[in-house]
Structure formats: structure tokens, C-alpha cells
Amino acid sequence: MVADVIGLRKPSAGEFQSVFGSLREWLLRNYKREEFEGVVKLFQDFAERYLPIGSAETFVLPTSRRFLHSVRSASFEYNMMEDRVYNLVVQAGLVEPSELTSGRIYFDADRGHEVLTAALETLTTSEIATIFGTDIDTVRSMLDANLMPRVEAFGNSRVYSRVRKQDVDAFLERLTVDIARDNELARLDDLANACRVARCKKYEIFELALNGELPSFRRSPESGLLCCYLVDPAELRAGIEAKRRRTAKEKRHDKTSTLFAGNQLLYWTEVSRRLRASGITGLTLLKLGFLQGVDAVCPRTWLRKKYVTLKSLEKFERTHVSLWSLAAQRGISPRKLRRELDAKGIRPIFDQTVTASRPSLFYRRKDVRDFLQ
């Protein structure tokens, strides 16, 4: 094995750990002896190149520079969850998908630095909502409408959407409009009231504005935040109706539409009832990608809607459990159990948003295995 290390072949990281683990004790006892100076430097160099040792760490001598990171060490250095670090380096092609533990998955530190620092330049939906002065649900609907592209859409992580800062800035730049003049304020209203009149969502207002279909769209003299934009409700209602007519016409000629497939497809309200969750929960799980959605035509209204496949719902039930169900099993209140889980660092698969109707919380069963009965 020592011969392998000094040049006959390149051993694996696990083999290096095995060799260096036993050799390091001898090196530490003899590194001050002049006759072993060359040997010590040789193995110090190999250790730095093939083990995830940082510049603040010591193998035998102080480490000169970091060549390798493990998923675990990068998680500490870049203040990221290990799952996120792993997904980023796999997506970037720095490592192959692996079942090894986070401390044994290594990648090039320099190339990883580029990937991970770029990832730090992203914003969560909560941060975007703060910048825009709006609520998280509005931001999510904007992302669903692809007004800003999501990044880091990993299938095996908790769903916390991230957007690059430059894409947020680009969106705001595209949405730049004039400040409302005094003679315009009488016919303009804020977005919340305008949405009620036009029976639409805020993201639809932004879509129309970006497409140049809302000439009345203005910025409030009081603030530049999204919540302080103004629009003519009558003009908005006409624009929304025209948009819906176009959409209906497109769907009427859509040959791929299929009728509602009985018990194999469920509307999100039925999903909430089946999960014994709050009314909005089914829609939240669908929007966040935990459930598979299928476009189908409602047999009663002949309108095309998004339904949940029964197969994806059954899979979700096998791998997740609600806070309410878990608390009922343990005979304690959901609030008390939530505090216990938070204290152990166990987080739900998504955070509740401050809305009129909050979705029920769910946890991955593998995360709460010790709490299941």
C-alpha cells in the first residue's frame, strides 16, 4: 500500500485514510528528526492532496493550502446544509452520485469554491418577499409563472426555492414604470384591491404589465416596493378577461386534454381532506412539487385544471407524516411537539407562510423515525 501511495498507482480516498491513519502516529513521533524530514514532507504533501484537510488544520505539519473538500467540511465552511452542498457538487459534475457518508465524499476545493460561492449569491422566497414588500405566496406564484427562474431545483431535498440575485434585479428592471402623477391617482388602486375587482392574482398583473398590456400601471409615490404599485382596476379587469379568453381558446383546441380519470386523479381540495390537513395544504404540496400534477378537463365545467395523481399521493403518504398525526400518536399537542422537533434540529419539509389559511406541516418519516409509534 505504501508503494501505491508513493507513485505506483493512485489509491482511493478510503485507502489513503487507512494508510495515513496508521502512518501519522509514526510521523508525529519522528517529524522533528532531521533524517526523516524528507519523508515527513512527502506524506504531508500527499495528505493535503488526497484528504480534505483545511489550511487551519494540521496533518503532521501545518497545512499549506486546501486541495480537497468533503461535503461535510464544505457544509461548515460555506454555512450550507449538507444536502444542498451534495446536490450542488453533483449537479456541477464535481462528484458522482454516492451512498457514502458526507465526510467521505470528496471534491476539488477550487472548483467547488466557484460553485458554492455562486450558490451563496441566491435568494430564498422569504428574502425576495422582503425585498419586494409582498408575501411569500405571491413570490411563489411569480416563480410558478416563470417571471423569474428558479435555481437549485433538486428532487431529494426540501423544497426551498432559490433565485439568483441578478434575475431578481433583472425582473425589477423590466418592471420599472413611472411614478403616478397627481391627476392619475384618483382612478388607480393598489394591487390587493385591484385583484379583488378583477378576480385575479398579483402575478397576473405583473405578467400583463411586462407584456405592455396595462398602460395604467404605475409606481406609488410612497414606495418602490411591489406592494405599492398601482393600476386602474377597470383596465386590469378588461386585460384579465382578454387573457382568460385567449387561454380558453387555446385549451379548446388542445388535442392532448383528457377527461377526469375518476379515482386516479384528485383535485387538491380532496387531497387535503384525505390527509386530514387544512384546506390549503393539498394545493401547497402540489405547487411545491411534493405531489405530481396532471392537467385534465373537469367533466362538470369542461375547464382544464391541475389534478394530483393518486400514485404520487400514496407515495407521499408512505414517506411523510403530518405534525398533527405525529402529535396524536404521542398524545401531546402539535405546538409542544413542534418545539421538541425544532430543538433537535428537525425541520418540516416547508415553512408555513403568514396567510389567512396556513397549510398543515409535514415531516419526512425518516427524519422523525424516533418519534413514530
Kindly report which listed range (140-149, 166-175, 258-267) carries the lowest average pLDDT score: 258-267
Gap between the Cα atoms of 148 and 144, Å rounded: 9
CA 54 to chain centre: 29
Average pLDDT over residues 190-198: 90
pLDDT of 8 = 44
pLDDT of 90 = 85
Gap between the Cα atoms of 122 and 168, Å rounded: 9
pLDDT of 230 = 92
The pLDDT tens digits for 47-101 are 656 666 656 655 555 666 677 778 887 777 777 888 888 888 887 788 888 888 8
Is the pLDDT at 124 greater than 60? The verdict is yes
Gap between the Cα atoms of 176 and 294, Å rounded: 35
Average pLDDT over residues 241-269: 66
Is the pLDDT at 37 greater than 70? The verdict is no
**Which residues are CB-contacts of 204 (< 8 A; sequence separation ≥ 6)?**
145, 240, 243
pLDDT of 63 = 62
Is the pLDDT at 4 greater than 60? The verdict is no
Gap between the Cα atoms of 308 and 201, Å rounded: 22
pLDDT of 265 = 84
**pLDDT class of 295 with cuts at 50, 70, 90:** confident
Is the pLDDT at 354 greater than 60? The verdict is no
The answer, as to whether pTM is greater than 0.85, is no
